[in-house]
A and B are shown apart, each in its own frame.
Chain A
Amino acid sequence: MNHPILETARQQVLEQGIGLTEAQLVDVLRLPDDALPAALELAHQVRLRHCGEDVEVEGIISIKTGGCPEDCHFCSQSGVFDSPVRGVWLDIPELVKAAKETAATGATEFCIVAAVRGPDIKLLNQVRFAIGRIREEVDINIACSLGMLTRQQVDQLASWGVHRYNHNLETARSYFPQVVTTHTYEERLETCAMVKDAGMELCCGALIGMGETLEQRAELAAQLAALEPHEVPLNFLNPRPGTPLGHQDVMDGKDALRAIAAFRLAMPRTVLRYAGGRELTLGDLGTREGLLGGINAVIVGNYLTTLGRPADADLNLLVDLNMPIKELQRTL
């Protein structure tokens, strides 16, 4: 028998393409385990109808690792905590090599990430140079994630051909002050708004399993939906040694799957990407269930400071599931 919220979602989200409200999302997140397969199946149908069957594949790389002045309590790259991650700058040839390897997997997206509050001139110069070199040698879309931006920096990145910019909300507004104290939610929203104004695609993600309540998880999904991002990368906390959240338990796999379904039902048309922590939280079986439960994009291979499943494991899974990899679209 179907749960009432799933009947509502079928009408509202699947048929009309209208995402669930915050209160409705709480109901999805509270569904009992025996309703989970039906929730995932509905989320999958929503994704197929409103996004299509393609899966967008992306590789990410850290151009500047560690030593960040911010204090995001989940992050091993914050210089505020006693984490084993040391500062490293990646050189351009290595970056180009990584872009080539990423493109060889069939990925259409390559995201250059730096652990900073916002970029300084040195970093922007390095990024600009890297973009030029990648363009010369590799056919792939380039995205960036360089922290909070000024208007001028947003315009610079857009003019260099950065087509998408990542800046996460991470958690609900009501929980944010417990996770980050060195900048505000509003500052994050400002960067997100400027990115959209400049015509770049906004990639704005979530990190769940940090001790937030189900209500706060629903709040986050609704706050993301209100931003209408092109993409939402969904991360699950991988507790990092030395950080304030280092002793947090790994999130329950079923709760993670409920969240996947809920995020899809909140945002029927958004690219919903599997990002960090899924290996730990969901394992191989859960990875498959998520791809059949609303996810339509993956990060292949490793993350910024941790390792992922081998790219082949994900690519073979897509073949098994009969899901085509999204092709590079030339819009220029």
Chain B
Amino acid sequence: MTPFTSLTAPVAFLDRANVDTDQIIPKQFLKRVERTGFGEFLFFDWRFNADGTLNVDFELNTPDMAGAGILVAGKNFGSGSSREHAPWALMDYGFRVIIAPSFADIFYNNCFKNGLLPIVLDDPSIELLRSAASGERYVLTVDLQTQSITDGKGIEIAFLVDAFRRHCLLNGLDDIGLTLEHADDISAYESMRPSRMPSLAGQR
């Protein structure tokens, strides 16, 4: 996994609650068998009009949000389908940090597996960022080492993140490798598992 230490990048604001993964990456783009190349389809049904032209009314399509690396979103971001294509699309588009008042469970988890940092901030802090940006191009620095968000103009917000997840993200650790360090424990568990448990052995 790509490590994440800190990022200084422009911010995009998407002021909508309950943005589901069907919106983040619509199902017609789930047919690829690779992890890459999903960025151009991010928020597809919102970004583009029915005739394929750019929807200029959509938040992310305004010029000052171009090149954004940090997305500030509404509550319950990433609800619905478990598709990991959602974090893949967000990262491929250029985002490395998502800030929201709350996230859906599976999405939140999927972010960490890909080096995308989801940050939970309370509503007042998000409001503070929104008003500081006041519709202009706005740059933030997100530092995972110090767990802080700063704008270089006086705003400094601390955020919380699970210590183990932070450690994995800072070091770009591979979860599977970590678990396999305990292969002996897995084998020991398996030797105790009752043989009556369902198995597909002998089906093929």
Tell whether A and B belong to one assembly.
no
